[in-house]
Amino acid sequence: MATAQTSVPFDDDPKLREQLMAVIEKYKGEQGALIPVLQQAQDIYGYLPIEVQKIIAEEMGTPLEKIFGVITFYSFFNLYPKGSHKISVCLGTACYVKGSRKVLDRLQDELGIEPGQCTTDRSFSLDTCRCIGACGLAPVMLVNDDVYGRMLPTEVPDILAKYK
């Protein structure tokens, strides 16, 4: 998992901030409150950037590192937002032996992000998955709900262009 800060600018929407403060207010001072607060903060923002973590740290009197440690421990929590187009590359056995790693590498090069991350303009986010049940088409990648089978790394730029 990448652990650098996201390059996506944080949108400090006052309405969302208000919701976050209400969640914190509800749980403040309670033993074991951190995880429910983080879950609900992720529901509000879709992900947990440093700005949100700092607010939680300050308001709950919890060291930022402790919050970051919990977030990076559980795969449920996201440090990065999802893009308007969600790309997912299958790394299941069949796709993997058919070269999906190379497809993923090409995507990383083209987008300049690692799996789990989102491009600065929020247009694409990149993830990996394990088998979508289309092994006959291996290697497979998904863009939103569109399935691309028998992928070659060289096809990546043209597919991305369709969504730009």
Residues that bind other proteins (CB under 8 A): 1, 3-5, 50, 53-54, 63-69, 72-74
Indicate the residue among 16 and 70 with the shorter CB distance to other proteins: 70
Residue 28 or 54 having the CB closest to other proteins: 54
Nearest-approach distance from CB 115 to other proteins, in angstroms: 14
Q: Which has the closest alpha carbon to 108: 96, 126, 121? A: 126
Residue 68 or residue 163: which is nearer to other proteins going by CB? Answer: 68
Neighbours of 143 (CB within 10 A): 16
Residue 139: is the preceding peptide bond cis (ω within 30°)? yes
Q: State the Cα–Cα distance between residues 16 and 18, nearest whole angstrom.
A: 5
Q: How far is the CB of 71 from other proteins (least distance, A)?
A: 9
Shortest Å, Cβ 70 to other proteins: 9
Distance CA 56, CA 112 (A): 30
